[in-house]
Amino acid sequence: MDAINTTLTNAERIDRLRLIRSDNVGPRTYRSLVAHFGSARAALERLPELAKRGGAARQIRIGREDDARAEFAACERLGVSLLAPEETGYPPRLATIDDAPPLLGVRGARETLMRPIIAIVGSRNASAAGLKFAGQLARDLGEAGFVIISGLARGIDQSAHRASISSGTVAVLAGGHDQIYPPEHEDLLAAILDAGGAAISEMPPGHEPRARDFPKRNRLISGAALGVVVVEAAQRSGSLITARMANEQGREVFAVPGSPLDPRAAGTNDLIKQGATLVTEASDVIQMVAPIMERPLSLPLDEPDGDPFSAEPEDDERARIIGLLGPSPVSIDDLIRLADTSAAVVRTVLLELELAGRLERHGGGLVSLI
Protein backbone atom coordinates (compact mmCIF):
# COMPACT_ATOMS: atom_id res chain seq x y z
CA MET A 1 0.00 0.00 0.00
CA ASP A 2 1.44 3.31 -0.99
CA ALA A 3 -1.23 5.73 0.16
CA ILE A 4 -0.43 9.27 -0.95
CA ASN A 5 -1.41 10.68 2.39
CA THR A 6 -1.43 7.70 4.72
CA THR A 7 -2.88 8.28 8.11
CA LEU A 8 -3.33 4.60 8.93
CA THR A 9 -0.63 2.09 9.75
CA ASN A 10 -1.06 -1.24 7.99
CA ALA A 11 -1.89 -2.80 11.37
CA GLU A 12 -4.75 -0.34 11.78
CA ARG A 13 -5.91 -1.09 8.25
CA ILE A 14 -5.96 -4.83 9.06
CA ASP A 15 -7.96 -4.19 12.23
CA ARG A 16 -10.49 -2.10 10.33
CA LEU A 17 -10.77 -4.76 7.64
CA ARG A 18 -11.36 -7.46 10.27
CA LEU A 19 -14.06 -5.36 11.93
CA ILE A 20 -15.97 -4.48 8.75
CA ARG A 21 -15.83 -8.10 7.54
CA SER A 22 -17.29 -9.40 10.84
CA ASP A 23 -20.88 -10.70 10.95
CA ASN A 24 -23.59 -8.07 11.45
CA VAL A 25 -21.13 -5.18 11.12
CA GLY A 26 -22.20 -2.79 8.37
CA PRO A 27 -20.80 0.71 7.88
CA ARG A 28 -23.21 2.26 10.42
CA THR A 29 -22.53 -0.35 13.11
CA TYR A 30 -18.84 0.01 12.35
CA ARG A 31 -19.02 3.72 13.08
CA SER A 32 -20.96 3.18 16.29
CA LEU A 33 -18.48 0.57 17.49
CA VAL A 34 -15.45 2.73 16.82
CA ALA A 35 -17.14 5.76 18.38
CA HIS A 36 -18.02 3.62 21.40
CA PHE A 37 -14.76 1.79 21.93
CA GLY A 38 -12.28 4.28 20.52
CA SER A 39 -10.66 2.02 17.90
CA ALA A 40 -11.32 -0.94 15.61
CA ARG A 41 -8.97 -3.04 17.69
CA ALA A 42 -10.82 -2.34 20.96
CA ALA A 43 -14.16 -3.04 19.28
CA LEU A 44 -12.92 -6.38 17.89
CA GLU A 45 -12.03 -7.50 21.41
CA ARG A 46 -15.49 -6.72 22.77
CA LEU A 47 -17.48 -8.07 19.80
CA PRO A 48 -18.19 -11.69 20.95
CA GLU A 49 -19.33 -10.64 24.40
CA LEU A 50 -21.60 -7.84 23.08
CA ALA A 51 -23.24 -10.11 20.52
CA LYS A 52 -23.90 -12.74 23.14
CA ARG A 53 -25.53 -10.21 25.48
CA GLY A 54 -27.66 -8.98 22.55
CA GLY A 55 -29.10 -12.46 22.24
CA ALA A 56 -27.26 -13.81 19.18
CA ALA A 57 -28.54 -17.33 18.50
CA ARG A 58 -25.04 -18.59 17.74
CA GLN A 59 -21.55 -17.17 18.07
CA ILE A 60 -21.01 -14.45 15.44
CA ARG A 61 -18.11 -14.73 13.03
CA ILE A 62 -15.38 -12.17 13.77
CA GLY A 63 -13.13 -11.17 10.87
CA ARG A 64 -9.95 -13.22 11.26
CA GLU A 65 -6.55 -11.61 10.97
CA ASP A 66 -5.29 -14.10 8.37
CA ASP A 67 -8.38 -13.57 6.21
CA ALA A 68 -7.84 -9.82 6.44
CA ARG A 69 -4.19 -10.23 5.47
CA ALA A 70 -5.22 -12.43 2.53
CA GLU A 71 -7.74 -9.84 1.32
CA PHE A 72 -5.15 -7.13 1.74
CA ALA A 73 -2.68 -9.14 -0.37
CA ALA A 74 -5.30 -9.90 -3.04
CA CYS A 75 -6.00 -6.19 -3.28
CA GLU A 76 -2.33 -5.44 -3.68
CA ARG A 77 -2.07 -7.96 -6.53
CA LEU A 78 -5.01 -6.26 -8.29
CA GLY A 79 -3.52 -2.81 -7.76
CA VAL A 80 -6.32 -1.93 -5.36
CA SER A 81 -5.69 0.34 -2.36
CA LEU A 82 -7.93 -0.06 0.68
CA LEU A 83 -8.47 3.52 1.74
CA ALA A 84 -10.05 5.00 4.84
CA PRO A 85 -12.36 8.03 4.53
CA GLU A 86 -9.66 10.37 5.78
CA GLU A 87 -7.15 9.33 3.10
CA THR A 88 -6.37 10.87 -0.27
CA GLY A 89 -8.19 8.95 -2.98
CA TYR A 90 -11.31 8.38 -0.90
CA PRO A 91 -13.87 10.64 -2.61
CA PRO A 92 -14.33 13.50 -0.11
CA ARG A 93 -18.11 13.66 -0.56
CA LEU A 94 -18.48 9.91 -0.16
CA ALA A 95 -16.76 10.23 3.23
CA THR A 96 -19.63 12.46 4.40
CA ILE A 97 -22.45 9.94 4.02
CA ASP A 98 -23.94 8.14 7.00
CA ASP A 99 -22.95 4.71 5.75
CA ALA A 100 -19.66 5.47 4.02
CA PRO A 101 -17.56 2.29 3.62
CA PRO A 102 -14.92 2.25 6.41
CA LEU A 103 -12.47 0.98 3.80
CA LEU A 104 -12.90 1.59 0.08
CA GLY A 105 -11.10 -0.45 -2.57
CA VAL A 106 -9.67 2.06 -5.04
CA ARG A 107 -8.02 1.18 -8.32
CA GLY A 108 -6.59 3.74 -10.72
CA ALA A 109 -5.85 7.42 -10.37
CA ARG A 110 -6.62 8.62 -6.85
CA GLU A 111 -6.41 12.29 -7.78
CA THR A 112 -9.37 11.80 -10.15
CA LEU A 113 -11.47 10.85 -7.14
CA MET A 114 -10.58 14.12 -5.43
CA ARG A 115 -12.06 16.24 -8.24
CA PRO A 116 -15.72 17.38 -8.44
CA ILE A 117 -17.84 14.45 -9.57
CA ILE A 118 -21.22 14.21 -11.32
CA ALA A 119 -23.08 10.90 -11.63
CA ILE A 120 -24.85 9.96 -14.86
CA VAL A 121 -27.05 6.87 -14.67
CA GLY A 122 -29.98 5.37 -16.55
CA SER A 123 -31.59 2.40 -18.25
CA ARG A 124 -29.63 -0.53 -19.55
CA ASN A 125 -32.00 -0.82 -22.53
CA ALA A 126 -31.86 2.85 -23.43
CA SER A 127 -33.08 4.39 -26.68
CA ALA A 128 -30.65 5.66 -29.30
CA ALA A 129 -31.61 9.21 -28.31
CA GLY A 130 -30.96 8.46 -24.64
CA LEU A 131 -27.54 6.98 -25.38
CA LYS A 132 -26.63 9.93 -27.55
CA PHE A 133 -27.78 12.43 -24.96
CA ALA A 134 -25.89 10.68 -22.14
CA GLY A 135 -22.72 10.81 -24.21
CA GLN A 136 -23.17 14.45 -25.10
CA LEU A 137 -23.85 15.42 -21.49
CA ALA A 138 -20.85 13.44 -20.17
CA ARG A 139 -18.60 15.06 -22.78
CA ASP A 140 -19.82 18.57 -21.97
CA LEU A 141 -19.54 18.07 -18.19
CA GLY A 142 -16.09 16.54 -18.69
CA GLU A 143 -14.98 19.57 -20.69
CA ALA A 144 -16.30 21.77 -17.90
CA GLY A 145 -13.95 19.97 -15.47
CA PHE A 146 -16.24 17.41 -13.86
CA VAL A 147 -15.43 13.74 -13.39
CA ILE A 148 -18.26 11.42 -14.45
CA ILE A 149 -19.16 8.56 -12.13
CA SER A 150 -21.43 5.66 -13.11
CA GLY A 151 -22.07 1.96 -12.68
CA LEU A 152 -20.32 0.42 -15.70
CA ALA A 153 -23.64 -1.11 -16.79
CA ARG A 154 -24.88 -1.47 -20.34
CA GLY A 155 -26.80 1.41 -21.88
CA ILE A 156 -26.65 4.87 -20.33
CA ASP A 157 -23.77 4.06 -17.91
CA GLN A 158 -21.63 2.77 -20.76
CA SER A 159 -22.33 5.84 -22.92
CA ALA A 160 -21.51 8.20 -20.07
CA HIS A 161 -18.24 6.42 -19.24
CA ARG A 162 -17.13 6.21 -22.87
CA ALA A 163 -17.73 9.87 -23.56
CA SER A 164 -15.73 10.93 -20.50
CA ILE A 165 -12.73 8.59 -20.75
CA SER A 166 -10.41 11.40 -21.79
CA SER A 167 -11.69 13.89 -19.21
CA GLY A 168 -11.90 11.45 -16.28
CA THR A 169 -14.47 8.86 -15.28
CA VAL A 170 -15.03 6.53 -12.32
CA ALA A 171 -16.71 3.11 -12.40
CA VAL A 172 -18.40 1.93 -9.21
CA LEU A 173 -18.51 -1.86 -8.95
CA ALA A 174 -21.13 -3.93 -7.18
CA GLY A 175 -18.73 -6.89 -6.82
CA GLY A 176 -15.03 -7.23 -6.11
CA HIS A 177 -12.46 -5.55 -8.35
CA ASP A 178 -11.84 -8.83 -10.16
CA GLN A 179 -15.56 -9.52 -10.73
CA ILE A 180 -16.52 -7.08 -13.46
CA TYR A 181 -20.19 -7.00 -14.38
CA PRO A 182 -21.15 -7.28 -17.15
CA PRO A 183 -17.99 -9.22 -18.10
CA GLU A 184 -17.89 -7.72 -21.59
CA HIS A 185 -17.18 -4.34 -20.01
CA GLU A 186 -13.72 -5.38 -18.86
CA ASP A 187 -12.31 -3.62 -21.91
CA LEU A 188 -14.22 -0.47 -21.09
CA LEU A 189 -12.87 -0.56 -17.53
CA ALA A 190 -9.32 -1.08 -18.84
CA ALA A 191 -9.72 1.93 -21.12
CA ILE A 192 -11.05 4.02 -18.19
CA LEU A 193 -8.07 3.10 -16.01
CA ASP A 194 -5.53 3.59 -18.80
CA ALA A 195 -6.78 7.10 -19.38
CA GLY A 196 -6.44 8.18 -15.75
CA GLY A 197 -9.85 7.17 -14.46
CA ALA A 198 -10.61 4.95 -11.49
CA ALA A 199 -12.77 2.11 -10.21
CA ILE A 200 -14.07 1.77 -6.66
CA SER A 201 -15.73 -1.03 -4.68
CA GLU A 202 -16.41 -1.82 -1.05
CA MET A 203 -16.50 -5.57 -1.75
CA PRO A 204 -13.56 -7.96 -1.31
CA PRO A 205 -11.80 -9.42 -4.35
CA GLY A 206 -13.59 -12.55 -5.47
CA HIS A 207 -17.03 -11.27 -4.45
CA GLU A 208 -19.43 -11.94 -7.31
CA PRO A 209 -22.14 -9.27 -7.44
CA ARG A 210 -25.63 -10.46 -6.53
CA ALA A 211 -28.92 -8.60 -7.08
CA ARG A 212 -28.94 -7.06 -3.60
CA ASP A 213 -25.43 -5.65 -4.06
CA PHE A 214 -26.54 -3.24 -6.79
CA PRO A 215 -28.71 -0.96 -4.65
CA LYS A 216 -25.92 -0.90 -2.03
CA ARG A 217 -23.47 0.00 -4.77
CA ASN A 218 -25.79 2.77 -5.99
CA ARG A 219 -25.38 4.70 -2.73
CA LEU A 220 -21.66 5.00 -3.51
CA ILE A 221 -22.41 6.45 -6.96
CA SER A 222 -24.66 9.15 -5.53
CA GLY A 223 -22.60 9.61 -2.38
CA ALA A 224 -19.41 10.42 -4.23
CA ALA A 225 -21.14 12.91 -6.52
CA LEU A 226 -22.34 16.49 -6.24
CA GLY A 227 -25.45 15.38 -8.05
CA VAL A 228 -26.99 12.54 -10.01
CA VAL A 229 -28.34 12.93 -13.54
CA VAL A 230 -30.88 10.25 -14.48
CA VAL A 231 -31.11 9.81 -18.27
CA GLU A 232 -34.07 7.59 -19.19
CA ALA A 233 -35.48 5.36 -16.48
CA ALA A 234 -38.61 3.29 -16.50
CA GLN A 235 -40.78 3.28 -13.40
CA ARG A 236 -39.32 1.16 -10.55
CA SER A 237 -35.88 0.92 -12.14
CA GLY A 238 -32.49 0.83 -10.45
CA SER A 239 -31.63 4.35 -11.50
CA LEU A 240 -34.52 5.59 -9.41
CA ILE A 241 -32.96 3.90 -6.39
CA THR A 242 -29.81 5.91 -7.06
CA ALA A 243 -31.95 9.05 -7.30
CA ARG A 244 -33.68 8.25 -4.01
CA MET A 245 -30.33 7.69 -2.32
CA ALA A 246 -29.02 10.94 -3.77
CA ASN A 247 -32.01 12.66 -2.27
CA GLU A 248 -31.49 11.07 1.14
CA GLN A 249 -27.82 12.01 1.01
CA GLY A 250 -28.67 15.62 0.19
CA ARG A 251 -27.28 15.37 -3.32
CA GLU A 252 -28.85 17.22 -6.23
CA VAL A 253 -31.12 15.09 -8.40
CA PHE A 254 -31.34 15.88 -12.11
CA ALA A 255 -33.54 14.16 -14.67
CA VAL A 256 -33.75 14.24 -18.44
CA PRO A 257 -37.34 14.66 -19.69
CA GLY A 258 -39.00 12.58 -22.35
CA SER A 259 -42.30 12.04 -24.06
CA PRO A 260 -45.13 10.87 -21.76
CA LEU A 261 -45.74 8.14 -24.33
CA ASP A 262 -42.20 6.76 -23.90
CA PRO A 263 -42.09 4.29 -20.98
CA ARG A 264 -38.33 4.87 -20.70
CA ALA A 265 -39.08 8.45 -19.65
CA ALA A 266 -41.74 7.59 -17.06
CA GLY A 267 -39.21 7.47 -14.22
CA THR A 268 -37.40 10.65 -15.16
CA ASN A 269 -40.61 12.62 -15.75
CA ASP A 270 -41.79 11.46 -12.33
CA LEU A 271 -38.54 12.63 -10.76
CA ILE A 272 -39.09 16.08 -12.24
CA LYS A 273 -42.64 16.12 -10.88
CA GLN A 274 -41.16 15.32 -7.47
CA GLY A 275 -38.74 18.23 -7.67
CA ALA A 276 -35.73 17.01 -9.61
CA THR A 277 -34.11 19.61 -11.85
CA LEU A 278 -34.95 19.19 -15.52
CA VAL A 279 -31.82 18.80 -17.64
CA THR A 280 -31.53 19.44 -21.35
CA GLU A 281 -27.89 20.56 -21.36
CA ALA A 282 -24.77 20.54 -19.21
CA SER A 283 -25.28 24.11 -18.05
CA ASP A 284 -28.47 23.07 -16.24
CA VAL A 285 -26.29 20.83 -14.06
CA ILE A 286 -23.35 23.18 -13.69
CA GLN A 287 -25.54 26.11 -12.66
CA MET A 288 -27.05 24.05 -9.88
CA VAL A 289 -23.88 22.49 -8.45
CA ALA A 290 -21.61 25.55 -8.70
CA PRO A 291 -22.79 27.08 -5.40
CA ILE A 292 -22.54 23.69 -3.66
CA MET A 293 -18.89 23.37 -4.65
CA GLU A 294 -18.20 26.58 -2.75
CA ARG A 295 -19.50 25.21 0.54
CA PRO A 296 -17.16 23.35 2.89
CA LEU A 297 -17.88 19.64 3.30
CA SER A 298 -19.30 18.60 6.63
CA LEU A 299 -18.48 15.18 7.95
CA PRO A 300 -21.29 13.29 9.69
CA LEU A 301 -21.29 13.87 13.41
CA ASP A 302 -20.08 10.93 15.36
CA GLU A 303 -22.53 10.08 18.06
CA PRO A 304 -21.41 11.73 21.27
CA ASP A 305 -20.67 8.91 23.62
CA GLY A 306 -19.66 8.48 27.21
CA ASP A 307 -16.90 6.28 28.58
CA PRO A 308 -17.82 2.84 27.26
CA PHE A 309 -16.51 1.08 30.33
CA SER A 310 -18.90 2.96 32.58
CA ALA A 311 -21.84 1.67 30.56
CA GLU A 312 -22.51 -1.88 31.55
CA PRO A 313 -26.27 -2.29 31.17
CA GLU A 314 -28.13 -4.06 33.96
CA ASP A 315 -30.47 -6.86 32.83
CA ASP A 316 -33.62 -4.87 33.67
CA GLU A 317 -32.30 -1.86 31.75
CA ARG A 318 -31.63 -4.05 28.72
CA ALA A 319 -35.14 -5.56 28.93
CA ARG A 320 -36.71 -2.11 29.24
CA ILE A 321 -34.88 -0.82 26.16
CA ILE A 322 -35.75 -3.90 24.09
CA GLY A 323 -39.35 -3.48 25.20
CA LEU A 324 -39.37 0.04 23.71
CA LEU A 325 -38.20 -1.25 20.32
CA GLY A 326 -40.31 -2.73 17.56
CA PRO A 327 -40.43 -3.13 13.82
CA SER A 328 -41.19 0.60 13.27
CA PRO A 329 -38.10 2.81 13.29
CA VAL A 330 -37.75 5.03 16.36
CA SER A 331 -35.15 7.68 17.03
CA ILE A 332 -32.29 6.90 19.38
CA ASP A 333 -32.93 10.25 21.07
CA ASP A 334 -36.51 9.25 21.87
CA LEU A 335 -35.28 5.91 23.13
CA ILE A 336 -32.82 7.56 25.51
CA ARG A 337 -35.56 9.86 26.79
CA LEU A 338 -38.06 7.02 27.28
CA ALA A 339 -35.68 4.39 28.71
CA ASP A 340 -34.99 6.43 31.84
CA THR A 341 -31.31 5.50 31.84
CA SER A 342 -28.06 6.93 30.50
CA ALA A 343 -27.37 7.49 26.81
CA ALA A 344 -24.28 5.28 27.09
CA VAL A 345 -26.37 2.35 28.35
CA VAL A 346 -28.89 2.75 25.51
CA ARG A 347 -26.12 2.89 22.93
CA THR A 348 -24.43 -0.16 24.38
CA VAL A 349 -27.66 -2.18 24.27
CA LEU A 350 -28.27 -1.08 20.69
CA LEU A 351 -24.77 -2.24 19.73
CA GLU A 352 -25.37 -5.57 21.41
CA LEU A 353 -28.62 -6.07 19.50
CA GLU A 354 -27.00 -4.97 16.27
CA LEU A 355 -24.16 -7.42 16.59
CA ALA A 356 -26.63 -10.15 17.43
CA GLY A 357 -28.30 -9.39 14.09
CA ARG A 358 -31.49 -8.20 15.81
CA LEU A 359 -31.32 -4.44 15.12
CA GLU A 360 -31.46 -2.42 11.95
CA ARG A 361 -30.06 1.10 11.76
CA HIS A 362 -31.76 3.50 9.37
CA GLY A 363 -30.62 6.95 8.32
CA GLY A 364 -31.24 9.92 10.59
CA GLY A 365 -30.53 8.15 13.87
CA LEU A 366 -33.46 5.75 13.61
CA VAL A 367 -33.40 2.09 14.67
CA SER A 368 -35.83 -0.82 14.57
CA LEU A 369 -35.93 -4.47 15.61
CA ILE A 370 -35.59 -6.97 12.80
Q: Which residues bind its own copies (CB under 8 A)?
A: 129-130, 132-133, 256-262, 265-266, 269-270, 272-273, 278-281, 284
Using the minimum distance from each CB to its own copies, give the nearer residue, 62 or 134: 134
77 vs 273 by CB, closer to its own copies: 273
Judged by CB, which is closer to its own copies: 48, or 257? 257
HEC-encoded secondary structure of 88-152: CCCCCCHHHCCCCCCCEEEEECHHHHCCCEEEEEECCCCCHHHHHHHHHHHHHHHHCCCEEEECC
Provide the 8-state DSSP code for 211.
Answer: T
Instruction: State the nearest-atom distance from the C-beta of 226 to its own copies, in Å.
Output: 19
Q: How far is the CB of 246 from its own copies (least distance, A)?
A: 19
3-state secondary structure of 277: strand
Closer by beta carbon to its own copies, 4 or else 278: 278
In angstroms, give the least distance from the CB of 234 to its own copies. 13
Residue type, 115: R
* Minimum distance from residue 111 beta carbon to its own copies (Å): 32
Q: What is the DSSP string of 149-207?
A: EE---TTHHHHHHHHTTTT-EEEE-SS-TT--SSGGGHHHHHHHHHTT-EEEESSPTT-
Query: Which residue, 129 or 369, has its beta carbon nearer to its own copies?
Result: 129
- Give every CB contact of residue 280 below 8 A, 6+ residues apart in sequence: 256, 257
Q: Is 283 left (phi over 0), alpha (psi -120 to 50) or beta?
A: alpha
64/132 with CB nearer its own copies: 132
Least distance in angstroms from the C-beta of 127 to its own copies: 8
Minimum Å gap between C-beta 117 and its own copies is 22
Sign of the torsion formed by the C-alpha atoms of 92, 94, 98 and 100:
negative
- Contact partners, residue 228, CB within 8 Å, separation at least 6: 118, 119, 120, 121, 221, 222, 242, 243, 246, 251, 252, 253, 254
48 contacts: CB under 8 Å, gap ≥ 6: 59, 60, 62
Nearest to its own copies of 268, 348 (CB atom) = 268
Q: Shortest gap between Cβ of 116 and its own copies (angstroms)?
A: 23
